[in-house]
A and B are shown apart, each in its own frame.
Chain A
Amino acid sequence: MAFKLDSKIPAGELAQKWSNHKAAIKVVSPANKRKLDIIVVGTGLGGASAAASLGELGYNVKVFCIQDSPRRAHSIAAQGGINAAKNYQNDNDSVYRLFYDTIKGGDYRAREANVYRLAEVSNLIIDQCVAQGVPFAREYGGLLANRSFGGAQVSRTFYARGQTGQQLLLGAYAALNKEIAAGSVKSYTRHEMLDIVIEDGEAKGIIARNLVTGEIERHGAHAVVIATGGYGNVFFLSTNAMASNGSAAFQCYRKGAGFANPCFTQIHPTCIPVHGTQQSKLTLMSESLRNDGRIWVPKKLEDVEALRKGTLKPSQIAEEDRDYYLERRYPAFGNLVPRDVASRAAKERCDAGYGVNETGLAVFLDFKTAIERLGKDVIKQRYGNLFDMYKEITDVNPYDEPMQIFPAVHYTMGGIWVDYNLMTTIPGLYAIGEANFSDHGANRLGASALMQGLADGYFVLPYTIGDYLSKKIQAPKVATDTPAFDEAEKAVKEKIEKLLSINGTQSVDDIHKRLGLIMWDNVGMARTKESLEKAIVEIQALRKEFWSDVKVVGTANSFNVELEKALRLVDFLELGELMARDALNREESCGGHFRSEHQTEEGEALRHDDKFAYASVWEYKGENEVPELTKEPLDYEFTHRAQRNYKD
């Protein structure tokens, strides 16, 4: 049975939709809010801000995170900044321009109404965070400072040194702490959601594992909010944190929630290149570096050879022998083209043999011009901590020699399908932030992830959830001794027992690394029909191997990291296949999804709006069954779809 998708997008003018919608949806009275329970899973920007705001409204909130403190969620790692349409720089920015840049940046595969709402509330976020005591960068006049980011021609990114994500999360976490202290929110740290419980077709709670004791717990609620981020770690090597995973989202999918656009993966252009087989993760160098850094490879292949042999230093290559390929190909945006474009351009140069390190998988990010223009002190002030970090990792001083960078998996635009209210196809189940699919289309612009997480958590969900909960004011506390909870708990326990009993020969990481390679080689920056079909077959085989040959040591009732990793890998092994299937279905190139068969003569992504102007929403049919596709058409009423142009 295919989904009957109702995106619930309100009628009317684009700029009026959100106001109209807010006026139309129901609210819950304070007396009734006290009777309603909400579970929030995840404490990143989305989860923390949602839990805090919902607690503030008077709901009883339970918030779960796998780390030892809500503050550690991976939102914290965002470096560059957060966008808002404040127009403080007087550079003719506006809500419409932010909306348009985001829609265009997403290669016209996002919902217009959602994106406009995002742009609309972006300004509130800045006000909110300032009031919370987030120490944004300021100018000498005491007012907020801005910087530029990829995909925009205005300066609208607010930042707090190189740690914007951390500072925003500390703001949301502080708001959460305020509510925890007030008793409206109860925090469960080192707890992992292992299943969602559905009763009468509605979300009624979760099964969670206490990661310290191994105890399996039942938690009931009138609504469940998934804010568990993205699934980039399918690739094993990514810029995500080690424990970032797609399992909570995947359980929702298994229980009937639609999963949208799983193939839309963002490959971030400025990461430190892979250095060996023992590497555990990739480190991102902030996109803000592209404000002053220039990306290049040598023009001559003999220089490339000499670089690889170590007989030539990059700084010794003459200006005329350098190919600043982004400036050459995209004069209007130059080094500040969107991430997908920059990543593909790097891949194109490396494929052509111009990669500058031993593996041939790196390009230069050079600050020579900027240092000459602005002086070393200014550069140090702007990027000092990033430069230090780079030196720490690579042992190369970026003040003297250019950085080496290469694209790496960073963000997943795809996620659980949600309607305009952020509710999934399962009533009472919500998904916010990176965990949903709604706002970034096929490619996310820099400094927009923080914006979306906080927009959803502070300003959208607290309103829209009331529309559903207003129907639950007569509902009693959710009982957890029902057959649905029994069944879910039993299934979780059986899965854990099975994993512990296989006792094969390969560790969880061994298999995860192999999955990562399959994904990177076949479902990575460039995909073809053949590579995707190959990936599906290989992943299926690997999944079989996993279930017969994995070795998970330790016990179920204790702190057991191997078991945690195994449980997450189980889902990655299915998610990887889903991503490949979605990529196979989408016979066009758009944003982060590049099908080599579909490109312009200049090698740019070639969309087929006539056939693929939809969000693909997948329905789970069983572990070894082909999922069913439903299409949500993306009707563009207010913007004209064009071939993305960053050249002029």
Chain B
Amino acid sequence: MNFTLKIWRQKDAQSKGAFKEYKVENVSSDTSFLEMLDILNNDLVHKGEEPVAFDHDCREGICGMCSLHIDGHAHGPSQAVTTCQIYMRQFKDGATITIEPWRSAAFPVIKDLVVNRSAYDQILQAGGFVSVRTNSVPDGNAIPIPKADADESMDAAACVGCGACAATCKNGSAMLFVAARVSSLAKLPQGRVEGARRAKAMVAKMDELGFGNCTNTGACQAECPKQISIAHIARLNREFLAAKLKD
């Protein structure tokens, strides 16, 4: 298969970027999207040009490192997968594919397609944890948790922190990410204890970092590689409002 790639190139955070066109030829349909970029990069190296920088690591859809806005979709045209799980057979032979970095004020570009997502770390540092010390905990089975609650907590915990939600949201809102963590812990008795404090602290940090206001378009859940539901956003809203009203 052959493709024309329109890729965003940007030297560093300070420089202005622009699209550049590349051709990749004779790519097998079983090649993954990132392997296709590997092939392009290997060609570029041989030509003495700087390869395209892009984030990736586990290539199994779990580490959340890969990003890329491909033809208008965060993580490409398929549903429920990360960019590393996209295969070239999903594109038309001869297609022109536009590849952009995440675009969000809170995710500044570092180079080419690589962005800085440390804002997500900062939000979690604000309260995305249960304050327990190592070793001062009860037995794992001391508190039974209804299976449905544990399952729902797990649904939310599936978030890989890739940033697709904020990147795809027209408002640059990180609500799905924040909600996933708040909701996951809120469904467990262990997390309930400091639920109110957590919701307030994480929302405050999210606002402080310049993420936008959620308008419930649902684009985040549509593009989320882990299909996290906006029902968790509703729960975050509940948690937050209840906490505020108690203040």
- Decide whether A and B assemble into one complex: yes
Which of B42-50, B93-101, B238-246 participates in binding chain A? B42-50
A554: CB under 8 A from chain B? yes
In the complex, the answer to whether B154 meets A160 with C-beta atoms within 8 Å is yes
Nearest CB in chain A: distance from B34 CB, A = 7
Residue pair B60, A283 in contact (C-beta under 8 Å):
yes
Which residues of chain B from 10 to 46 have any CB-CB distance to chain A below 8 Å in the complex? 11-12, 27-28, 30-32, 34-35, 38-39, 42, 44-46
* Chain A residue contacts of B71, Cβ below 8 A: none
Asked if B65 contacts A56 (CB within 8 A), the reply is no
Taking the closest CB of chain A, its distance from the CB of B115, in whole angstroms, is 9
Structural contact, A72 and B110, CB atoms closer than 8 A: no
User: What is the interface residue range for chain B against chain A?
Assistant: 35 or more
Residues of B within 8 A of A554 (CB): 50
The residues in A between 52 and 106 inclusive whose CB is less than 8 angstroms from any CB of B are 52-53, 56, 67-72, 74, 76-77, 86, 88
Contact yes or no, B51 A562, CB < 8 A: yes
Contact present for B63 and A131 (CB under 8 Å): no
Judge whether B235 is part of the interface by a CB distance below 8 angstroms.
no
Query: Is A170 in the interface zone, CB < 8 Å from B?
Result: yes
Cβ of A52: which chain B residues have Cβ within 8 Å of it? 134
Judged by a CB distance under 8 angstroms, whether A404 is at the interface is no
- Tell me whether A69 and B118 are in contact (CB under 8 A): yes
A182 to B121, CA, bound (A): 14
Q: Which residues 502-547 of A have a CB within 8 angstroms of B?
A: 505, 507-510
User: Are the CB atoms of A389 and B137 closer together than 8 Å?
Assistant: no
A562 to B135, CA, bound (A): 42
Q: Which of A74, A144, A177, A189 contacts B140 (CB 8 A)?
A: A144
Contact indicator B45/A280 (Cβ below 8 Å): no
Contact flags B156-168 to A (C-beta < 8 A → 1, else 0): 0110110000000
Please name all residues of chain B whose beta carbon is closer than 8 Å to the beta carbon of A144 when the two chains form the complex. 140-141
Per-residue CB contact flags for chain B residues 123-143 toward chain A (1 = under 8 Å, else 0) read 011111111111101111101
Q: Report the minimum CB–CB distance from B62 to chain A (whole Å).
A: 5
Say if the beta carbon of A558 comes within 8 Å of chain B. yes
Verify if B172 is at the interface (C-beta below 8 Å from A). Answer: no
A72–B65 contact, CB under 8 A? yes
Interchain CA distance A192-B18 in the complex, whole Å = 29
Give the A-binding residues of B (Cβ under 8 A): 11-12, 27-28, 30-32, 34-35, 38-39, 42, 44-46, 48-51, 53, 55-65, 78, 80-81, 85, 87, 89, 110-111, 114, 116-118, 120-121, 124-135, 137-141, 143-147, 150-151, 153-154, 157-158, 160-161, 184-185, 187-188, 190-191
Which positions in A face B, CB cutoff 8 Å?
Answer: 49, 52-53, 56, 67-72, 74, 76-77, 86, 88, 124, 126-144, 160-161, 163, 165-167, 170, 173-175, 177-178, 180-181, 187, 189, 212, 241-243, 275-276, 278-281, 283-284, 388-389, 392-393, 395, 458-459, 462, 505, 507-510, 551, 553-554, 558-559, 561-562
